[in-house]
Amino acid sequence: MKSSTSSKLQIYFILSLYFFNGVISSDTLTASQSLGSNQTLISPQKVFEFGFFNTTTSKWYLGIWYKDVPDKIFVWVANRDTPLENSNGTLKIQDGGKLVLFNQTDNPIWSSNQTISSVTDPVLHLLDDGNLVLKEAQEKNNSNYIWQSFDHPTDTLLPGMKLGWNLDTGVEIRITSWKSQDDPSTGDSHFSLDYHGVPDIYLWNKQQRVFRSGSWNGQSFGGVPILSTIAALNDKIVVDEHEAYYYPAGLLQSNLSRLVVNSTSSMERYAWIESTKDWNKVWSAPALQCDNYGTCGPFGICDSNAFPVCKCVTGFDIKNQRQWDLRNFSDGCVRKTELECDKDKFLHLKNVQLPETRSVFVNKSMTLLECENKCLKDCSCTAYANEEITNGGTGCVMWNYSLVDMRQFTEAGQDIFIRLAASDVGNFFFSDEADTGSSGGSKKNAGMIAGITITIVILILGVILFILRKKRRWQRIQKVNNSQRGNSDRGQKTRLSDSKFSNSREYSDERNMDDLDLPLFEFHVISDATNSFSLANKLGEGGFGAVYRGRLVDGQDIAVKRLSTSSGQGNVEFKNEVRSIAKLQHRNLVRLFGCCIEKEEKMLIYEYCENNSLDSILFDKAKSCKLDWPMRFSIICGIAKGLLYLHHDSRFRIIHRDLKASNVLLDKEMNPKISDFGIARIFDNDQTHSSTMRIVGTYGYMSPEYAMGGYFSAKSDVFSFGVLVLEIISGMKNRGFHQSDDLNLLGHAWRLWNEGKAMELIDSSYADSYSEAEVIRCINVGLICVQEKIEDRPIMPSVVMMLNSETSSLPQPKHPGFVLGRNLGESDSSSAVTINEVTVTIINGR
Ligand SMILES: *[C@@H]1O[C@H](CO)[C@@H](O)[C@H](O)[C@H]1NC(C)=O
Ligand SMILES: *[C@@H]1O[C@H](CO)[C@@H](O)[C@H](O)[C@H]1NC(C)=O
Ligand SMILES: *[C@@H]1O[C@H](CO)[C@@H](O)[C@H](O)[C@H]1NC(C)=O
Ligand SMILES: *[C@@H]1O[C@H](CO)[C@@H](O)[C@H](O)[C@H]1NC(C)=O
Ligand SMILES: *[C@@H]1O[C@H](CO)[C@@H](O)[C@H](O)[C@H]1NC(C)=O
Ligand SMILES: *[C@@H]1O[C@H](CO)[C@@H](O)[C@H](O)[C@H]1NC(C)=O
Ligand SMILES: *[C@@H]1O[C@H](CO)[C@@H](O)[C@H](O)[C@H]1NC(C)=O
Ligand SMILES: *[C@@H]1O[C@H](CO)[C@@H](O)[C@H](O)[C@H]1NC(C)=O
Ligand SMILES: *[C@@H]1O[C@H](CO)[C@@H](O)[C@H](O)[C@H]1NC(C)=O
Ligand SMILES: *[C@@H]1O[C@H](CO)[C@@H](O)[C@H](O)[C@H]1NC(C)=O
Ligand SMILES: *[C@@H]1O[C@H](CO)[C@@H](O)[C@H](O)[C@H]1NC(C)=O
């Protein structure tokens, strides 16, 4: 009986193969058809394609990819752990409604494996959202599926999917990485929803938590403020006794967006940008040190803008000072004073990512006051907070153990109240954002008086510390110089005749144990390459010295920056800085190949960019017509990404300080590459993070606070970026702007924006290639970046996000900052007016 049906089936299949081969180009596979390796299903709007594919490991898989996107991106793989040995595979819908994949010898190697009730006429559809669904042909209900691939995702979370648990069956939907870039089998990393306590998403590598999204605050996950700006209000979490799911409707709102976990334990959100025909990585984690789960240990708090990133919560001391000094913060902090239960007070911290909430007490209907009272009564309660931020804060969360994985934000985050012994709360004067909770108010006056006394003591201590530090630093330099002297003898002996680098590994930094070789070029190699620095090879004169074009013997084109000798920095420090900067690699940064130090000469060797600098094209009427709008937009996005990397993703958090059109180079494909980054670092090693005696920068691009007060931060670069965006759109320079009565380009753009005539800003040379929506968005972003107040300007992750979010509405810009150097003294500003684009270096005589 059984064999007769199967042979009947076989005939059926042979017939169906005969009739339907090649015809399956639609979105549907019926029970009488089969799918072979030279056929695919294509979704109705031709967004996704489903079929067989092979990887470089010569294994074959069945999967789904974007149809019209170059470089196949696989969003789903059926048989990830049971590949086909060759392309001879067949997919069929077996009677009973199971999808089964057979190999060449007709062995089933993968099946949809669902438990099914009776199915009469199953069909397989590939939908436009990338969901492969099996359903009854007659079924009209569009969510009544027998089986769907969205319930069995691989490494990609797509719009329309959900993440979490079916609590009735215990089945989890999680996202698991590939083993490696070309091996789809189940890898070591995954991310999934943890619904216990307050829900959050964890990224895991094997058994280790790598990253936590922050707790759900009613609108989004609190630890990723960047994403919450686009996800706001559309994301949803449903937790009840049957299910616990996260629906990322807002996070993944455009159809061509995806959240993937890659084999190196990195979560990445991509969105397809139609105008640049490229994937834009909008966000990834862990990117910053603070993204790493529990970086600062118990009762430590991580602040990406601080150095070091970790500090102890007020009222706590570093537990293991030695490890802490080595930048190992994992032991965290301990209480200064033991708790006394009912006499304790609460310390109010603002803009904090709530600590891990896996086993907290939650009551959604309690008020904050009830929460405080309950916490105060329960001696094991260590902190409390509102559960959600909606309606000004609702619900109650209470911790009864140590607080792990807190972060300090400047804008986002929530309020938390941490229990301290009453005597420790009085010390609020030490902490800038700390504030006593509602019960600590009476202490304030006493605290003030204590505070003033303490300030005086601190000042004295500060002076002593400053002297000590100078001394130590001096000793360190001496030590380094000695070791350098010993090694340089060896360096001279290893003279390489034909190789372009001589690898020196003479000095390893204390903090920087990994021993990356710094390519050191020899002087004669560079001299030969640039034809003895001939005038014909000179590309220009930058702020820090002349730039020459050169070609090494092996044909590699290079650009050589011959630094003016006045840098006043020791060779070792110089090399050290170059080494650290050489490690920064990004497609929107100019590659630094190495350096050359000989006698008085210091040179930096860069990759050569064929299309020279942006200003040479942008401000040249004859050439600027080459720059159509898609190109300009892609340049804007590229610069934004490069800057994002410098500010946030690189290990050193570099602030460029001199971003301008002439510091953006264009390669063969017109990809923008930021140059001269880190130069300020090389030249000005001793800077503090907040202000500097030396002002390096260019009028017209400098933020007001930097030009006037020497105060710089990443937001100063954001300002320069905004200027650059407006210049790229208008084809006009901010400085030396001569049109109408406006002060400069920023003033001009601001006026047009307010008069609703922003489109008049565009350069006529690309007047027929632009998308109005894109241009307006860019102008909007540009104006937001040049706002006068530092705190109004966005950080680069938000800028990148805004540039790419086609749907969300952007904030209205406020008044831009004008930089005319009024406060800089007349002589300086007049010299700057005569030359359009001088790089100025002012030594503030303060
Ligand atoms: C698919 O492959 C089979 C055998 O390999 C071949 O006979 C058939 O013509 C192919 N169909 C198409 C549409 O290429
Ligand atoms: C897939 O296999 C074909 C030949 O069967 C080969 O030409 C191609 O390079 C393979 N693709 C990959 C990605 O390895
Ligand atoms: C697939 O099967 C056909 C016939 O069974 C055979 O001729 C062909 O060599 C097979 N292809 C591979 C790649 O093994
Ligand atoms: C098909 O699968 C069976 C069982 O997994 C295996 O023994 C056989 O070698 C496979 N055949 C081919 C051609 O891969
Ligand atoms: C199919 O499901 C059964 C139980 O439902 C399970 O035992 C079996 O391992 C599953 N097979 C595959 C290939 O997942
Ligand atoms: C996304 O795809 C769905 C289904 O194909 C479609 O209804 C919707 O309009 C698309 N949304 C966008 C923003 O393209
Ligand atoms: C379609 O099916 C889903 C899931 O079975 C069910 O929740 C929903 O009510 C159905 N909708 C209609 C219109 O029948
Ligand atoms: C994984 O992500 C990291 C960080 O974005 C990237 O450098 C790496 O190339 C990615 N790896 C793979 C296999 O895609
Ligand atoms: C950090 O310190 C802890 C405890 O002191 C230790 O177990 C751990 O190995 C250290 N980690 C590193 C990377 O040194
Ligand atoms: C903390 O509270 C939770 C739930 O209220 C409880 O399950 C857990 O045992 C408590 N832990 C400690 C250390 O008191
Ligand atoms: C939550 O708090 C409210 C108000 O205090 C109380 O009525 C309710 O019983 C609490 N619910 C739980 C589950 O503890």
| 3-class state of residue 553 by DSSP | coil
**Per-residue pLDDT, 686:** 36
Question: Which single residue is written with the structure tokens 């290990």?
Answer: 651
**Per-residue pLDDT, 231:** 55
55 close to ligand 2 (CB < 6 Angstrom): yes
Pair 117, 163 in one domain: no
- The percentage of residues in the chain with a pLDDT greater than 90, rounded to a whole number, is 37
Pair 722, 802 in one domain: yes
Q: What is the mean pLDDT of residues 528-550?
A: 83
Pair 598, 618 in one domain: no
| Residue 226: band (very low, low, confident or very high) from pLDDT cuts 50, 70, 90 | low
571 close to ligand 8 (CB < 6 Angstrom): no
How many CA within 13 A on the CB side of residue 778? Answer: 28
**Is the per-residue pLDDT at 52 higher than 80?**
yes
Distance from the CA of 255 to the center of ligand 6, in angstroms? 6
Inter-CA distances, 113 with 265, 420, 446, Å = 29, 55, 71
30 close to ligand 8 (CB < 6 Angstrom): no
Pair 761, 732 in one domain: yes
- Full domain range(s) for residue 50: 17-152
Nearest CA to ligand 2 atom 13: 55
For residue 678, tell me if it sits in a domain: yes
Pair 128, 263 in one domain: no
**Per-residue pLDDT, 141:** 75
Q: Which of 41-55, 82-96, 436-450 is predicted least confidently?
A: 436-450
Q: Who has greater pLDDT, 472 or 4?
A: 472
111 close to ligand 8 (CB < 6 Angstrom): no
For residue 803, tell me if it sits in a domain: yes
Atom of ligand 1 nearest to the CA of 88: 5
**Per-residue pLDDT, 172:** 94
pLDDT in tens, 543-574: 567 889 999 888 889 999 887 665 555 676 67
For residue 497, tell me if it sits in a domain: no
Nearest CA to ligand 4 atom 3: 107
* Residues making up the chain, counted from first to last: 846
Q: What is the Cα 160 distance to its own chain's centre?
A: 24
**Per-residue pLDDT, 790:** 82
- CA dist 633 and 631 (Å) reads 5
Largest CA distance in the chain: 102
Among 291, 344, 405, 658, the active-site one is 658
| Residue 807: band (very low, low, confident or very high) from pLDDT cuts 50, 70, 90 | confident
Pair 261, 387 in one domain: no
- CA dist 6 and 834 (Å) reads 90
328 close to ligand 9 (CB < 6 Angstrom): yes
| Residue 158: band (very low, low, confident or very high) from pLDDT cuts 50, 70, 90 | very high
* Domain containing residue 592: CATH number: 3.30.200.20
* Domain containing residue 211: CATH number: 2.90.10
Residues 6 or more apart whose Cβ sits within 8 Å of residue 253: 159, 230, 231, 234, 807
Q: Which residues line ligand 3 (CB under 6 A)?
A: 86-88, 104
* Domain containing residue 345: CATH number: 3.50.4
129 close to ligand 6 (CB < 6 Angstrom): yes
- The percentage of residues in the chain with a pLDDT greater than 70, rounded to a whole number, is 74
pLDDT in tens, 809-833: 888 898 888 644 332 222 222 222 2
181 close to ligand 8 (CB < 6 Angstrom): yes
**Is the per-residue pLDDT at 84 higher than 90?**
yes
**Is the per-residue pLDDT at 285 higher than 60?**
yes
For residue 48, tell me if it sits in a domain: yes
For residue 453, tell me if it sits in a domain: no
Q: Who has greater pLDDT, 57 or 18?
A: 57
**Is the per-residue pLDDT at 846 higher than 50?**
no
Q: Which of 264, 287, 310 is the last residue of a domain?
A: 287
**Residue 811 CB-density burial (10 A; 0-12 exposed, 13-18 middle, 19+ buried):** middle
Angle at 66 between CA 62 and CA 68, to 5 degrees: 130
**Is the per-residue pLDDT at 30 higher than 70?**
yes
Q: Who has greater pLDDT, 571 or 170?
A: 170
| 3-class state of residue 189 by DSSP | strand
Distance from the CA of 326 to the center of ligand 8, in angstroms? 28
| Residue 701: band (very low, low, confident or very high) from pLDDT cuts 50, 70, 90 | confident
Distance from the CA of 100 to the center of ligand 3, in angstroms? 20
**Per-residue pLDDT, 741:** 62
Distance from the CA of 328 to the center of ligand 9, in angstroms? 6
Distance from the CA of 83 to the center of ligand 4, in angstroms? 10
423-451 in b/e form (b: 16+ CB < 10 A) is ebbbbbbeeeebbbbebbeebeeebeeeb
Q: Which of 95, 122, 152 is the last residue of a domain?
A: 152
Pair 671, 553 in one domain: no
**Per-residue pLDDT, 508:** 29
Most confident of 185-199, 649-663, 668-682: 185-199
Atom of ligand 1 nearest to the CA of 38: 1
For residue 526, tell me if it sits in a domain: yes
Domains identified in the chain, total number:
5
Amino acid in position 838: V
Q: Which of 607, 628, 646 is the last residue of a domain?
A: 607
Pair 197, 245 in one domain: yes
- CA dist 743 and 291 (Å) reads 43
CA nearest neighbour of 354 among 196, 198, 543, 157: 198
- CA dist 161 and 251 (Å) reads 11
Angle at 368 between CA 364 and CA 373, to 5 degrees: 105
- CA dist 603 and 605 (Å) reads 7
For residue 725, tell me if it sits in a domain: yes
**Per-residue pLDDT, 685:** 39
Tell me the best of 266, 280, 288, 644 to mutate to test the pocket of ligand 8, counting ligand atoms within 8 Å of each CB and taking the most: 266
Residues 6 or more apart whose Cβ sits within 8 Å of residue 536: none
Pair 140, 179 in one domain: no
Q: Which of 18-22, 462-466, 700-704 is predicted least confidently?
A: 18-22
Cross-strand bridge partners of residue 100: 92, 111
361 close to ligand 10 (CB < 6 Angstrom): yes
658 as an active site residue: the answer is yes
Tell me the best of 59, 84, 102, 104 to mutate to test the pocket of ligand 3, counting ligand atoms within 8 Å of each CB and taking the most: 104
Pair 688, 811 in one domain: yes
Q: Who has greater pLDDT, 789 or 378?
A: 378
Q: Is the pTM of this model over 0.85?
A: no
Distance from the CA of 218 to the center of ligand 6, in angstroms? 26
Atom of ligand 6 nearest to the CA of 128: 5
**Is the per-residue pLDDT at 19 higher than 50?**
no
Tell me the best of 38, 42, 52 to mutate to test the pocket of ligand 1, counting ligand atoms within 8 Å of each CB and taking the most: 38
For residue 292, tell me if it sits in a domain: no
Distance from the CA of 128 to the center of ligand 7, in angstroms? 20
Whether cis (ω within 30° of 0) applies to the bond prior to 286 is yes
Pair 634, 659 in one domain: yes
Pair 136, 167 in one domain: no
**Per-residue pLDDT, 682:** 60
With beta carbons less than 8 A apart as the criterion, state whether 230 and 152 touch: no
Distance from the CA of 161 to the center of ligand 8, in angstroms? 23
* Domain containing residue 762: CATH number: 1.10.510.10
179 close to ligand 8 (CB < 6 Angstrom): no
Kindly report the average pLDDT of the chain as a whole number.
Answer: 78
370 close to ligand 11 (CB < 6 Angstrom): yes
Cross-strand bridge partners of residue 399: 383
Could you tell me the sign of the dihedral formed by the alpha carbons of 69, 72, 78, 84, in that order?
A: positive
Enumerate long-range contacts of 295-298, CB under 8 Å, 24 or more apart: 295/329, 295/330, 295/405, 296/329, 296/332, 296/333, 296/406, 297/329, 297/330, 297/331, 297/332, 297/333, 297/404, 298/332, 298/333, 298/402, 298/403, 298/404
Q: Which of 172-186, 430-444, 824-838 is predicted least confidently?
A: 824-838
Residues 6 or more apart whose Cβ sits within 8 Å of residue 234: 249, 250, 251, 253
Q: Report whether 374 belongs to an annotated binding site.
A: no
Tell me the best of 154, 262, 292, 583 to mutate to test the pocket of ligand 8, counting ligand atoms within 8 Å of each CB and taking the most: 262
